[in-house]
Amino acid sequence: IPKVLNLKEVMEHFINHRHEVVVRRTKYDLDAAEKRAHILEGYKIALDNIDEVVQLIKKSKDPETARLALMKRFKLSEIQARAILALTLQRLTGLERKKIEDEYRETIKLIERLRAILASKAMRMDIIRDELLELKKNFGDERRTEIIEKASEFSIEDMIAEEDVVITITHNGFIKRYPVSGYRRQSRGGKGITAQSTREDDFVEHMFIASTHQYILFFSDKGRAYWLKVHEVPEGGRVSRGRSIVNLIGKMPDEEITTFLPVKDFVESLFVTMVTKRGNVKKLALNEFSNPRKVGIIAIGLDKGDRLIDAWLTNGKQDIIIGSKNGMSLRFNEKDVRPMGRNARGVKGMNLSKGDEVIGMIVISRPGASVLVVTDKGFGKRSEVGEYTLRHRGGKGIFTVKTGDKSGKLLSIKEVIDNDDIMIVTTKGFLIRQHVKDIRTAGRNTQGVRLIRLQGTDSIAAVARVLAEDDGETNGSTPNDDQGDLFEEEDK
């Protein structure tokens, strides 16, 4: 079967071939030497009894009679007898006799050497080495090609234009990308339009922006991380479902992707800061993810019943705010969390009340930012960052939104500025885009205003911040915003 061999395998096949050549050649030479020694033994017998041999031949009526007589008298083989009869008279001289004896001794030595070669692999290896050195000595010359510095490797990214695209992922794990152009805003309270076509049991759950030259780090609820290049995500139209994510990354069947991070360079100075459902926080150096593996790696160890909720890129000295389902929040500096290994479970980030759980976290990174919170029943508001008192990790926190039957439970928390837009997607696949500046600023312990009018049993599935077009930041380098940057496609 044709096979691509590495250098070691090529050398092994070559050496095995040379062994076969040496063995076959040695067997051939041994056979010839043994035949010659057999004839020389017959010559020696004849020379030792030369007078009797001559008389026997003279008395024979023909060569055949002479051959048979020699074979019978001196116990010679047919080959030896024929060789003796073929001797010329000059071979009977003393000088020729000495030559025959010397040749016999050398032939016996040759036979012993050839048999030793066949019995010893080490001797065959020595022969192979000596022959190769002889070839090098006789035919070796200077290298004709010059070895220079390794040329830069050509990659598929060199042929792909770098542009921002929208990545969408449905609840059942279908993924696609779509150009970021062609999106428009709607006023607060609008109904939005259909974001994409889904099955009855599926809906758009996550959306975010990334550059085609970036990686996407996928984090599962089991605490594993997976890699995917953005340009490898299949491109789809507005109503297409995309492709199942399990066909693009090697996640386990019992895992769910919970959060994403677009990453371009895996630098040591940045960190992946993660939070779990039970309030544990962990910080891991970004360069720990620099070696992509199809089967993924462990990003965080989890206790039984816990799951990974969110992950952000941080610089090691930023403030973090964690939000919980019951409307609680806690602000602390990430310096309170030391970097850990990949298998570590992290430390207590927020002390949760019974029945409460973490829904997400934000990293304060922009001047003049405020905190936006949205409930699962479509209510939301903004609050000044200054209202969130800086504390140490491990506390219970303070109220960030008033939850209840009308407003629902807290679903999303994020950092925004006036120039941002937000995108909201519902469980039935509706999506709306709004100016952040149109959302009222209110105190922490209020329910806020209605951001989207839900129909029937519909509820909010995900919310995200969209950077304004004139914002100096790069969308693709922005950490994950509550399961992604959400968009509404323009009606055409």
Domains and CATH numbers, the chain: 7-139 (1.10.268.10), 156-477 (2.120.10.90)
For residues 464-477, average pLDDT: 47
More confident residue, 116 or 159: 116
Asked if residue 396 lies in contact with residue 353, where contact means CB atoms within 8 angstroms, the answer is: yes
- pLDDT of res. 171: 64
90/96 Cα distance (integer angstroms): 7
Q: Is the pLDDT of residue 148 over 80?
A: no
In this predicted structure, what is the pLDDT of residue 196?
A: 52
CA distance 290 to 225: 12
Q: Can you spell out the DSSP letters for 343-407?
A: T---EE---PPTT--EEEEEEE-STT-EEEEEETTSEEEEEEGGGS-B--TTS--EE-S--BTTT
* 413-443 tens-digit pLDDT: 989 888 888 888 888 878 788 889 999 888 8
CA distance 415 to 382: 9
Q: What is the mean pLDDT of the chain?
A: 84
**Residue 291 clears pLDDT 70, i.e. is over it:** yes
Instruction: Provide the pLDDT for residue 483.
Output: 38
Confirm if 168 and 207 have CB atoms less than 8 A apart: yes
Q: For 229-254, how does the pLDDT look when each residue is reduced to its tens digit (9 = 90+)?
A: 889 999 887 667 788 877 888 788 88
Report residue 262's pLDDT band, with 50, 70 and 90 as the boundaries: confident
Give the least confident one: 185-189, 231-235, 281-285. 185-189
Question: Which pLDDT value is given to residue 479?
Answer: 41
Confidence at residue 346, expressed as pLDDT on a 0 to 100 scale: 93
Mean pLDDT to the nearest integer, 146-156: 67
Query: Which pLDDT score is estimated for 411?
Result: 92
Please report the pLDDT score of residue 456 as a whole number: 86
pLDDT band at 324 (very low <50, low <70, confident <90, very high): very high
Q: How many CB atoms lie within 10 A of CB 88?
A: 7
Q: Which of 64-73, 161-170, 476-485 has the lowest mean pLDDT?
A: 476-485
Is residue 71 predicted with pLDDT exceeding 90?
yes
| Averaged pLDDT for residues 255-280 | 90
Considering just the CA atoms, what is the radius of gyration of the chain in Å? 43
**High-pLDDT (> 70) share of the chain, %:** 86
Question: Considering only CA atoms, which of 463, 479, 467 is closest in space to residue 431?
Answer: 463
More confident residue, 475 or 191: 191
Least confident range from 55-59, 149-153, 454-458, 466-470: namely 466-470
Q: How confident is the model at residue 50 (pLDDT cuts 50, 70, 90)?
A: confident
pLDDT for residue 36: 94
Is the per-residue pLDDT at 285 higher than 90?
A: yes
pLDDT band at residue 491, thresholds of 50, 70 and 90?
very low
pLDDT of residue 180: 74
Per-residue pLDDT at 80 exceeds 50: yes
pLDDT bin (cut points 50, 70, 90) of residue 373 is: very high
Q: If DSSP codes are grouped into helix, strand and coil, which group holds residue 53? A: helix
Residue 151: pLDDT band with limits 50, 70, 90: low
Asked whether 347 and 393 are in contact (CB, 8 A), the reply is: yes
Rounded Cα–Cα distance for residues 413 and 393 (Å): 18
Q: If you average pLDDT over residues 289-316, what whole number do you get?
A: 90
Other Cβ atoms within 10 Å of 440 Cβ, number: 12
Choose among 255, 322, 263: nearest CA to 288: 263
Q: Is the pLDDT of residue 353 over 50?
A: yes
The pLDDT value recorded for residue 492 is 31
Q: HEC states along 220-235? A: ECCCEEEEEEHHHCCE
